[in-house]
Structure formats: structure tokens, C-alpha cells
Amino acid sequence: FEELIYTYRIFREHQGYFRIEASEGVPERIFRTLKDLIYTYEKPNQGLITNLRYPVKKPKALQRSQ
């Protein structure tokens, strides 16, 4: 965005909650589910440069045959 790279990290806490690390000055918030986090950040002007749209499931690691 405007020749800058913004990164956001989503962490899963020990209790199963989600926390997002965003731009400096954006208050830290805890979310019960990933869906709750996306619902909050899909709206404009919530502290992210782009709106979130939907969760992407992590692909399962391929099992090596022995």
C-alpha cells in the first residue's frame, strides 16, 4: 500500500483464543474464534490496511512414506 509493506500476525493463545498483531498504535484485542476476528476486521477503518474476508484453512502436512 503506497509503497509500504504491512504485515499482520495472528496468534493462537494457549486457551484457544486468537490475538492479532497489527500496526503500532492499534490496541491488542483477543477473539474467541477466528470468525470473530475476521468479523471485526472485515469492516473498514479498524486498524488494518486491508479488510479481512474469510479464514483460510492451513493445509495438512504431507506424510512421508517410509
Q: From CA 11, how far away is CA 47, in angstroms rounded?
A: 17
Which of these CATH numbers, 2.160.10.10, 2.50.20.10, 3.40.50.720, 3.30.505.10, describes 1-53?
A: 3.30.505.10
**pTM greater than 0.75 (yes/no):** no
Strands 9-12 and 18-21: antiparallel
Closest CA to 52 of 25, 22, 26, 28: 22
Mean pLDDT by 10 residues, the chain (66 residues): 75 89 77 86 72 72 56
Alpha helix segments (H runs only) across 1-66: 34-41
What are the cell numbers at 8?
499482520
